[in-house]
Amino acid sequence: MTKIFSHRFPHPEPVQKRLKLLPVFLPFAGCPSRCVFCDQHAQTGLGGLRLEDALEALRDRLAREDGGAFGLGFFGGTFTGLSLAWQERFLELASRFAGPGGLVHLRVSTRPDRVDAESLRRLRGSGVSMIELGVQSFSSAVLATSGRGYDGAVAAGACDMVRAAGLELGIQLLPGLPGHDAPLWREDVRRTLALAPDVVRIYPCVVVRGTGLAALYDRGEYAPWPLETAVQESGRAVLDFWQAGVRVIRLGLAGEPGLLERLLAGPWHPAFGNMARSLALRLYLEERLSGLAGRVSRIFLPSRCGGELWGHGRDNVEALARLGIVRENVNFWSETDIAVELEE
Ligand code: SF4
């Protein structure tokens, strides 16, 4: 007689908070210099935006909010590099909309070398809930080659300061900077995990025309990671972050038309996030199912896995078949767990 064994285990991705986040882009505002890889004008689709205009646009945008809870984030520059007066103008405007049924989450992005205990205390007092740090890498050698102007110790210290200030922590990572390789990236992932951020963004490094990196690329002094490497390394990292309870809220740069026009080289793909997430899911299933006695007769997955299980371009099909997961025995359901029936 056939014996059936059932295994039930959670999907590894932490539950995402469902909150509308209004992004306010302040391209290069407060930045001490232009980083070698960065073109915020291309990435945000905004040209030389004046702060007065950004403030006015935010005022209009907030006035149009319809009463539901929402979050607001200042991105695209170095918020704490702005003059205090400008920081206060933006934060004071936001504070007028704060409260249940209004602005419930406020975040700013900045550089690790532009925060200190005093500035973080002030931001928290002004209603900021999360700091996203553009760490990029914890490798001092990579940071030096990329001209970031701080080292790994400063990056880690900034993360600790954010936590010590009672703020949520976001870490932005940029695999594939000059001098960055897979072992250094894996070390970055380990160091990030040790700092227990709330959220992570992963932006594999691409070459945008007009940046310092483009000049290095043109001279043959820089080669971006191939897409395959970026997907493999990001996918593995995504699983590590998920299993540590860290939400991965962005994978790859958004496909702004301005970015795509100026993209010279590098691992950009419109489905990059799907590719990395699909790999993470496949690695997780391999981890959970390899070595179990029996053959998969049925598997049930949360319906949200439907777009990721088989992988972009069906990349996961072969590996899943080795686990006994084939189209005929896959079911999607409304539960959040994964359940497997194995028969002897
Ligand atoms: S990477 Fe950050 S600090 Fe550097 S130029 Fe871009 S926005 Fe400014």
* 112-121 per-position pLDDT tens digit: 999 999 999 9
Same domain, 269 and 303: no
User: Residue 18: is its pLDDT beyond 90?
Assistant: no
Q: Is residue 75 part of a domain?
A: yes
Instruction: Establish whether residue 191 lines the binding site of ligand 1, counting it when its CB lies within 6 angstroms of any ligand atom.
Output: no
Task: Label residue 4 by pLDDT band (50, 70, 90).
Answer: low
**pLDDT score recorded for residue 241:** 98
Structural domain ending residue among the three candidates 279, 298, 321: 279
| CATH at 27 | 3.20.20.70
Q: Which atom of ligand 1 is nearest to the CA of 76?
A: 7
Ligand 1 midpoint to CA 175 (Å) = 15
Same domain, 192 and 115: yes
Task: Label residue 16 by pLDDT band (50, 70, 90).
Answer: confident
**pLDDT score recorded for residue 49:** 78
**pLDDT score recorded for residue 110:** 98
Residues 307-336: pLDDT tens digits? 999 999 999 999 999 999 999 999 999 999
Same domain, 222 and 306: no
Query: How many structural domains is the chain composed of?
Result: 2
Calpha distance 59→331 (Å, rounded): 47
Which strands make up the sheet holding 4-10, listed edge to edge? 4-10, 337-343, 295-302, 330-333
Q: Is residue 85 part of a domain?
A: yes
Structural domain ending residue among the three candidates 251, 279, 307: 279
Structural domain ending residue among the three candidates 279, 305, 326: 279
Instruction: Establish whether residue 174 lines the binding site of ligand 1, counting it when its CB lies within 6 angstroms of any ligand atom.
Output: no
Q: Which residue is listed with tokens 């070459």? A: 207
Same domain, 26 and 129: yes
Ligand 1 midpoint to CA 114 (Å) = 11
Same domain, 202 and 293: no
Calpha distance 315→293 (Å, rounded): 25
β-pairing, 207-208 vs 199-202, is unpaired
β-pairing, 4-10 vs 337-343, is antiparallel
Ligand 1 midpoint to CA 313 (Å) = 34
Residues 133-152: pLDDT tens digits? 999 999 999 999 999 999 99
Q: How many CA atoms lie within 13 A of 29 on its CB side?
A: 28
Residues 57-109: pLDDT tens digits? 999 999 998 779 999 999 999 999 999 999 999 999 999 999 988 999 999 99
Q: Is residue 8 part of a domain?
A: no
Residues 19-52: pLDDT tens digits? 999 999 999 999 999 999 998 877 776 767 799 9
Instruction: Establish whether residue 38 lines the binding site of ligand 1, counting it when its CB lies within 6 angstroms of any ligand atom.
Output: yes
Calpha distance 123→278 (Å, rounded): 37
- Supply the mean pLDDT for the chain: 94
**pLDDT score recorded for residue 3:** 60
**pLDDT score recorded for residue 194:** 98
Calpha distance 25→29 (Å, rounded): 9
Residues 287-312: pLDDT tens digits? 999 888 788 999 999 999 999 999 99
Same domain, 226 and 131: yes
Same domain, 98 and 238: yes
Q: Is residue 13 part of a domain?
A: no
Phi/psi at 132 (5° precision): -100, 120
Same domain, 306 and 274: no
Ligand 1 midpoint to CA 74 (Å) = 13
Q: Which residue is listed with tokens 């915020």? A: 40
The burial of 67, by beta-carbon neighbours within 10 Å (0-12 exposed, 13-18 middle, 19 or more buried), is given as exposed
Same domain, 135 and 230: yes
User: By residue range, what is the domain housing residue 55?
Assistant: 20-279
Q: Which atom of ligand 1 is nearest to the CA of 77?
A: 7
Q: Is residue 7 part of a domain?
A: no
Same domain, 166 and 305: no
Calpha distance 242→200 (Å, rounded): 10
Ligand 1, atom 3, lies closest to the CA of 31
Same domain, 158 and 250: yes
Same domain, 225 and 296: no
Dihedral angle of Cα 14, 17, 18, 24, to the nearest 10 degrees: -120
Task: Label residue 240 by pLDDT band (50, 70, 90).
Answer: very high
